[in-house]
């Protein structure tokens, strides 16, 4: 699956998607490290998003090391919302959904698909960490008011790249989203590593959490938050498997 001197870009992108699905990082390296190749940013960002959801640290690291993705430009509010609303049905994801219910939060009734909002995430973290924790997802208006509508056509290229339910996390924006300042692609986070670290911890993806922890700022504070979150979640689940994972990951 090695690329030729003048590869078809769509074919190479398809190869990258398949390499991600199969966990073949060496194929990705061979396809990515091609000189004088101008990559379609939107398609690379689709694969980056899927790599994060799939806990494929090697692929995320490769994209960043090769400077194919700028993390600040990549992680918009919309993409973070897509991560929290990914359709996976893992034990951890189902437990996370139950925690939202435990906090008395109902998914947004104004949206047809009842999506998770960043404000809900902020309230969940306050519930788990205590009232002393002041979440910027609640205190800052651009995060608290951010919404996502998943009731639209899925991105066909992602469905082609990864033929499973994870392809649902990337899709075309609705006209209302295109006009909504809170979900525009230009809306960045000052510290995207922190946001992805928090997402990884809440989704019990230890390897991804460690990667963004090492790459981010305020390592000691971040480690303390992660420990507290994992300990709090371990006390609220009846799953022996999750309790063991949380306890191990909190060390």
**DSSP secondary structure string for all residues of 3-65:** --SS--HHHHHHHHHHHHHHT-HHHHHHHH--TT----HHHHHHHHHHHHHTT-HHHHHHHHH
Q: 197 in a domain, yes or no? A: yes
Task: Please compute the mean of the pLDDT values over residues 161-166 and round it to a whole number.
Answer: 39
pLDDT of 83 above 90: yes
pLDDT of 176 above 50: no
Q: 147 in a domain, yes or no? A: yes
Percent of the chain with pLDDT over 90: 44
Task: Please compute the mean of the pLDDT values over residues 25-51 and round it to a whole number.
Answer: 78
Structure confidence at residue 112 (pLDDT):
46
Q: Band the pLDDT of 118: cuts 50, 70, 90.
A: very high
pLDDT of 158 above 90: no
Q: 80 in a domain, yes or no? A: no
Structure confidence at residue 76 (pLDDT):
92
Percent of the chain with pLDDT over 70: 73
Q: 94 in a domain, yes or no? A: yes
Q: 224 in a domain, yes or no? A: yes
Q: Band the pLDDT of 188: cuts 50, 70, 90.
A: low
Domain coverage including residue 190: 88-153+183-249
How remote is the C-alpha of 50 from its chain's centroid?
Answer: 8
Structure confidence at residue 175 (pLDDT):
45
Q: 211 in a domain, yes or no? A: yes
Structural domains in the chain (count): 1
Least confident of 16-20, 143-147, 154-158, 215-219: 154-158
Q: 42 in a domain, yes or no? A: no
More confident residue, 11 or 168: 11
Tokens encoding 183: 């979900």
pLDDT of 181 above 90: no
Top-ranked range on mean pLDDT: pick from 28-32, 40-44, 103-107, 175-179: 40-44
pLDDT of 9 above 70: no
């Amino acid at each position: 699956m090695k690329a030729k001197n003048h590869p078809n870009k769509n074919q190479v992108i398809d190869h990258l998607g398949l390499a991600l699905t199969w966990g073949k990082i060496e194929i990705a390296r061979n396809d990515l490290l091609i000189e004088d190749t101008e990559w379609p940013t939107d398609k690379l960002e689709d694969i980056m998003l899927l790599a994060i959801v799939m806990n494929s640290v090697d692929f995320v690291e490769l994209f960043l090391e090769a400077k194919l993705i700028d993390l600040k430009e990549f992680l918009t509010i919309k993409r973070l919302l897509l991560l929290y609303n990914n359709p996976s049905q893992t034990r951890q994801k189902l437990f996370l959904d139950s925690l939202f219910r435990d906090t008395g939060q109902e998914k947004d009734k104004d949206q047809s698909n009842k999506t998770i909002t960043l404000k809900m995430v902020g309230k969940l973290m306050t519930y788990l960490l205590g009232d002393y924790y002041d979440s910027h997802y609640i205190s800052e208006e651009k995060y608290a008011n951010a919404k996502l509508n998943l009731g639209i056509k899925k991105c066909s290229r992602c469905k082609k790249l990864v033929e499973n339910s994870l392809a649902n996390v990337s899709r075309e924006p609705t006209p209302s989203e295109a006009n909504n300042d809170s979900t525009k692609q230009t809306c960045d986070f000052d510290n995207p590593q922190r946001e992805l670290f928090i997402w990884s911890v809440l989704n019990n993806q230890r390897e991804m959490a460690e990667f963004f922890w090492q790459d981010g700022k305020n390592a000691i504070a971040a480690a303390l938050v992660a420990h507290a979150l994992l300990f709090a979640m371990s006390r609220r689940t009846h799953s022996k498997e999750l309790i063991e994972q949380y306890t191990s990951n909190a060390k």
